[in-house]
């Protein structure tokens, strides 16, 4: 059986047990020490909390932000076939997909995927959900992957981080090499070395200019092979990153390059 020892914190209370009840004011705080940890105030509060949660299961239902509700099932089960190539499906991002799209900081974008790929969740700290509508650092929009072929992600960077010119074109920011020097760590997941850049090019699609990159990144967290495509529109620079390890690259290089080429904002 647990023993409970009471002691008074009031200097007005007598230390004598025979006089304590008559000499202590009613509002005197009493300290308790517990020889049984299960009866400590913290344990009792936890027990009451757990009891309340058990009686009210609905209190555990938390509304997750839409970006966290990524469907970890094959995208072919919910995305439509690509009009240009039925071997792929097409993902068209809308305002229901990410907080940045809802805030208007990123313009809708699209790209194709093999139907066997799966969309994966983006951690809240990486998603930009906590900083919209004014984020100071780049964030991850969406992610997809396939264990056998590789992974892709869309990274958005506030335009103000790269240039003071509002609504700037990507050409206003600088050369392809200058841009990748700023955003390279968001391609590799850790660091960027200019020697890792094998090839860069400029692509014009309608009124939109894209910078394209081929990188060999042996120390990257994302994989030893990375392809990237970037453009500026509205308030952001949007970067599409395709990543693979050596084994994935060997079997899926053509597929990964087709995905890169399909990216549009």
Residue from 183, 176, 111, 190 nearest 143 by CA:
111
Q: Please report whether residue 252 resides in a domain.
A: yes
Q: Please report whether residue 69 resides in a domain.
A: no
Q: Please report whether residue 8 resides in a domain.
A: no
- Looking at the DSSP bridge assignments, the partners of residue 203 are 210
pLDDT, block means (10 residues), the chain with 265 residues? 43 41 42 44 44 35 41 90 95 94 95 97 89 92 97 96 92 97 95 96 96 97 97 96 98 98 97
Q: Please report whether residue 14 resides in a domain.
A: no
Residue 70: the pLDDT is 58
Q: Please report whether residue 15 resides in a domain.
A: no
Phi, psi of 92 (to 5 degrees): -115, 110
CB 187 within 8 A of CB 229: no
Q: Please report whether residue 117 resides in a domain.
A: yes
Q: Please report whether residue 20 resides in a domain.
A: no
Structural domains counted in the chain: 1
Q: What range does the domain containing 233 cover?
A: 75-262
Residue 50: the pLDDT is 38
Buried b (16+ CB within 10 A) or exposed e, 89-107: bbbebeeebbbbbbbebbb
Q: Any idea what the CATH number is for the domain that residue 216 is in?
A: 3.40.1000.10
Q: Please report whether residue 140 resides in a domain.
A: yes
Residue 130: the pLDDT is 86
């Amino acid at each position: 059986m647990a023993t409970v020892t009471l002691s008074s914190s009031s200097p007005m209370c007598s230390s004598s047990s025979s006089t304590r009840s008559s000499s202590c004011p009613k509002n005197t705080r009493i300290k308790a020490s517990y020889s049984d940890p299960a009866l400590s105030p913290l344990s009792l509060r936890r027990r009451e909390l757990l009891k309340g949660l058990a009686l009210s299961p609905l209190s555990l239902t938390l509304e997750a932000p839409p970006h966290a509700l990524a469907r970890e099932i094959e995208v072919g089960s919910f995305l439509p076939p690509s009009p240009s190539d039925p071997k792929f499906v097409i993902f068209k991002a809308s305002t229901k997909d990410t907080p940045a799209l809802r805030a208007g900081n990123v313009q809708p974008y699209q790209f194709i995927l093999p139907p066997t790929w799966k969309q994966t969740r983006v951690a809240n700290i990486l998603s930009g959900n906590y900083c919209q509508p004014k984020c100071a650092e780049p964030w991850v929009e969406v992610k997809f992957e396939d264990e056998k072929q590789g992974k892709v992600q869309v990274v958005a960077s506030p335009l103000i981080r790269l240039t003071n010119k509002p609504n700037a074109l990507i050409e206003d920011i600088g050369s392809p090499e200058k841009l990748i020097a700023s955003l390279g760590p968001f391609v590799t997941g850790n660091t960027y070395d200019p020697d890792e850049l094998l090839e860069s090019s400029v692509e014009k699609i309608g009124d939109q200019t894209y910078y394209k990159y081929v990188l060999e990144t042996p120390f990257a967290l994302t994989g030893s092979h990375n392809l990237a495509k970037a453009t500026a529109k509205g308030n952001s620079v949007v970067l599409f990153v395709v990543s693979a390890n050596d084994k994935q690259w060997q079997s899926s290089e053509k597929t990964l390059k087709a995905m890169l080429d399909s990216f549009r904002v």
